[in-house]
Structures are given as C-alpha cells and as structure tokens.
Chains A and B, each alone.
Chain A
Amino acid sequence: MLLAAATAAACSDRGGEGARTPAGADLRQARATLIALRGAVTVKRAAGDAWTAAAEGMDLFENDTLRTARGASAQVRFESGPAMTVSEDALVGIAEPRARPGADPSDVTVLKGRIDAELADPQTHSLVIATPSAIVRAGREIVFQ
C-alpha cells in the first residue's frame, strides 16, 4: 500500500511522460498487460498523441488508450486480476480516474466496440467499466471509492 501510494505520489509529481526516467523506464505502476494480440492493435499513451503498434507483454498505464482495427482483437489482463478481450473495431481507455465529469473512477472505459470481461475470482476481483451512457460493475462490492 505504501509503495502504491509512493508510486502514485511520484507519478503525480512528475506527471504523464515526465514520469519516465532517462533510461526510458516508466515509473508509473502498470494497470494492465497485453497478453495476446491478433491483427492491428495500437496504443496511445496518456501523455502522447501518437498511436503506436501494440505488442504482447506491453504494459498499459492509467489513461492509455487501446484501439483495435477491423478483424483485430486484444486480450488484456489487469494487475488487479480480471481480464478482458477487446473485439475488433473498438476503442477503450485504461483506468481513467474520471471518465467524464462526475463519473466514478473506472478500470476501463469502452468508447466504442465490444469487450468480453472475465473475473476468475469474483469474490476478490472487481471491474468497473464506464461507457458513454452507463457504468457497469462486476465482482466484489466496492466499499471505498
């Protein structure tokens, strides 16, 4: 917990791409990892404007955006346990603190397309998904917001 808080503090102090060290490593804590890809999948980092090709094993951080082209898909595993498959022609955001004004923090924001989510252990895992029209919650009840 302290480490997580320290990490968050380090991130907030430096912010976005500024959180990178001279060696290029990312100081932020990864929220998810891309574990399987099919077809054209691209990622836009929180502090950048460029879409870059995704790769298996790539870490995803807060406010990163993932896009799948037609015929593509991506399997993502969250550090907190759940997993999701992002279907073709989709646009999703990772762990947005506020998907829109007044909204709750989410693990994923689905802006377009379809995701299939899995919680291997719903007693301990939870997943909050924001969309332009709804909030979807699954798994463990969220006591602390």
Chain B
Amino acid sequence: VSSGTTLPGWITASLTAALGVVLAGAGPREVELKPGETLPAVARRELGDAKAAAELRAFNGLLADPSPGMRIRLPGEERDRAVRAIAAARNALQQIDAGALREEAAKRIRAAEQHLAGARYPDAARTADAAWKLLSSRAPEQTRFTVAVDDRGDTEVVSRSGRPVRVEAQGVQRVADPGRSVKVTKGSPPSLPAAPPSRPALSSPGQGAVLELKSDPQGRLGPVRLAWSGSDGARSYEVQLTSGGATAPLVFTSAINAIELPPLVAGTYSWTVKALGEHAIASPPAEPRTFELRPQRLKLEVRGTDWKAP
C-alpha cells in the first residue's frame, strides 16, 4: 500500500477500515445494533464496505436480519490478513502480464473474495496467496537476486534477472547487472562485479543434420552425441532439447562441453546450451540448432536359391 500502487476502491476502503479497527483496539469485538440501524450500515461503518453485510451475516451465523439490541461480532486480524492477501493478489493481477495464467489467477482471486464474503478468512488468505504466487512467477520484468552471508559475515550478492542491484560497503558502491555477482569481505569495499561465463557455440551435429540411427526394442533411437565449444568461467553446462511437438524442453546438465543423450523417438529436435558459472549464473544461450532423427533403414538382401520342389 505504501509503494504507491493502485488498489480497487473497495479493497482500499476495507484495508483502511481494517487499520482503523487495529488502531481502535483490534481483535474480534462486538457492536450493538442500534434502533433503525441495518447490517449494511454496520458493515459500512466497521468494515468500510456496505457490501460486507453478507460477510457479517455469515460471520455471525445469522439466518435472518438482526433486530435492534442484538450484538454483532466483528472479525479481527484474520480478516485483515485475508484482505491484505487479496489486495496483494489484485495488485499483481493489475501489474503483471501473466498471459495464459491470468484467467486462472483471476478465478482464484474471485474464489478468495467469495471466501471473504462467506467469512472463511483462512481460506480467503490461502487462495489469494496462491493467486499471488501464480502471478509473481510470471512477472517478465521481475527482479531476482540472491544475498548470501557466511559465518565470517562476508556477503555475496548475485543479480539474476530484471534490474541491477546496488551493493554498498565502506563508502564504495558497485552495480551488479543481471548475471553478475559481487563479493564483500567484512570491512572491505565490494569487489568488481564478476562476469557470467562466455556464450558457448554449438559444434556437432551440424545445423539441420539428419541422423539415421538404430532403434532399441522400444523403437527409440540413439546414441546422439551433442558437442559445443567450452566457455570461459563455466562450471557446467545446461542443455535444452525440444522436440517438434513438445512445449517444455528436456533439460540435461553436463560437466564437460559434450553430452550423450538417452535414446529418443524419431523426429526433429531443437537444442541449445547455456554455460553455468559460479552460483549457477548462466551465459546467454548458444544459437540453437536442429537435427532430425530417423530410424536406420534395414538392408534386405534377397538371394536366389537352389531349392526345388520335390
């Protein structure tokens, strides 16, 4: 809320009211329904939203409209938590282009709001958190970084994606761009940002190669050996292999600049390689290549015979 983000009016009102409740005394409490007062009026005054009357009805287990003098229980911090979780999820929905996941996230937020309306606050918070997690995992400009502190108090910062991270110590500031790391020894200024490994170049098989290989009893073909140039600073390599119809690539890791793939079904494959440096900082991926796998054709030799019918 303090980050300047925009929230839907009802959530802002509700959140403000929730904070008001906190300031006023917090925790579950009760109010007495005054003559002529309605449940929506209580909801507007106490929760910041007249539409929350249904929620108050559910919270109090009311089957009919309450009569004057009746004591109405008001929800406490469980509701505040649920409202905050829904606000965070709605905020993420506004700000993140989640593509195909958007509808699913919106559905979960609606479900969370239904839980809220039914005064099922833990369910509301849990469902909204799930929507938020779904959305935040797809944030394209998400800034990710790692901070690690060892037993001596030395710090290592790895900028992984998004915007650069600034590291300051002893009056010296370093900027770590994505893919770079900075180390700080206690009492010393930060190191210069370390670069990620260089980008590998694929070498074998050649672009568009057609490989005719023997099939195993399951009809899979192999072995296929992939090779690429070594990268400076690489500790290992990550190979991504995508078959024609598949959406998710197969991922393999190799300690050297080559790998023998497990048997594969016939088809066309695309592959690329990233070099992984310290802290799994990755190089840009190599220019991808494709190859085609075909079963080796059987050679049939038909010879004449001396056999004669008796």
A145 within 8 A of B: no
A10 contact from B23, B129, B133, Cβ within 8 A: B23
Given contact pairs A23-B28, A133-B188, enumerate 14 new A-B contacts (beta carbons under 8 Å).
Answer: A7-B23, A21-B25, A21-B27, A23-B76, A33-B81, A35-B132, A110-B148, A112-B150, A118-B142, A122-B162, A124-B3, A124-B5, A137-B166, A138-B163
User: Which 5 pairs across A and B sit closest by C-beta, in order of nearness?
Assistant: A25-B26, A23-B27, A132-B153, A25-B27, A114-B148
Least CB distance, B37 to chain A, in whole angstroms: 24
- Tell me the total A-B contact number using a CB cutoff of 8 A: 167
Bound-state CA distance A12–B25 (Å) is 16
Which of the listed residues A114, A119, A132, A138 has the most CB atoms from chain B within 10 Å of its own CB? Answer: A138
Provide the residues of chain A in CB contact with B157, threshold 8 Å.
Answer: 134, 136
Give chain B's interface residues, CB within 8 Å of chain A.
1-5, 16, 19-20, 22-23, 25-29, 76-77, 81, 84-85, 88, 91-92, 95-96, 122, 125-126, 129, 132-133, 135-136, 139, 141-151, 153-155, 157, 162-163, 165-169, 184-188, 190
Bound-state CA distance A82–B41 (Å) is 36
Whether the pair B167, A136 counts as a contact (CB closer than 8 A) is yes
Known contacts A57-B122, A115-B147, A119-B162; A134/B26 CB under 8 A: no
Closest residue of B by beta carbon distance from A77 = B88
Least CB distance, B11 to chain A, in whole angstroms: 14
Provide the residues of chain A in CB contact with B153, threshold 8 Å.
Answer: 131-133
B136 contact from A83, A111, A122, A123, Cβ within 8 A: A83
Whether the pair A122, B143 counts as a contact (CB closer than 8 A) is yes
A59 within 8 A of B: yes
Provide the residues of chain A in CB contact with B27, threshold 8 Å.
Answer: 21, 23-25
Provide the residues of chain A in CB contact with B16, threshold 8 Å.
Answer: 3
Whether the pair A114, B136 counts as a contact (CB closer than 8 A) is no
Least CB distance, A41 to chain B, in whole angstroms: 16
Known contacts A117-B146, A120-B142; A79/B2 CB under 8 A: yes
A80 contact from B2, B125, B154, B184, Cβ within 8 A: B2
Least CB distance, B127 to chain A, in whole angstroms: 12
Closest residue of B by beta carbon distance from A85 = B146
Bound-state CA distance A126–B188 (Å) is 25
Whether the pair A120, B145 counts as a contact (CB closer than 8 A) is no
Whether the pair B144, A117 counts as a contact (CB closer than 8 A) is yes
Give chain A's interface residues, CB within 8 Å of chain B.
3-4, 6-7, 10, 21, 23-27, 29-30, 33, 35, 57, 59, 77, 79-81, 83, 110-126, 129, 131-140
Provide the residues of chain B in CB contact with A134, threshold 8 Å.
Answer: 155, 157, 167-169, 184, 190
Least CB distance, B285 to chain A, in whole angstroms: 22
Which of the listed residues A27, A120, A121 has the most CB atoms from chain B within 10 Å of its own CB? Answer: A120
Known contacts A25-B27, A112-B149, A131-B149; A138/B3 CB under 8 A: no
Least CB distance, B76 to chain A, in whole angstroms: 6
A-B contact pairs, 13 of them (CB 8 A): A3-B19, A3-B20, A26-B26, A29-B22, A59-B77, A79-B1, A81-B5, A113-B148, A115-B147, A134-B169, A135-B169, A136-B147, A136-B167
Least CB distance, A130 to chain B, in whole angstroms: 10
B81 contact from A24, A57, A111, Cβ within 8 A: A57
Whether the pair B77, A25 counts as a contact (CB closer than 8 A) is yes
Bound-state CA distance A126–B155 (Å) is 20
Whether the pair B23, A3 counts as a contact (CB closer than 8 A) is yes
Bound-state CA distance A36–B147 (Å) is 20
Which of the listed residues B77, B145, B151 has the most CB atoms from chain A within 10 Å of its own CB? Answer: B145
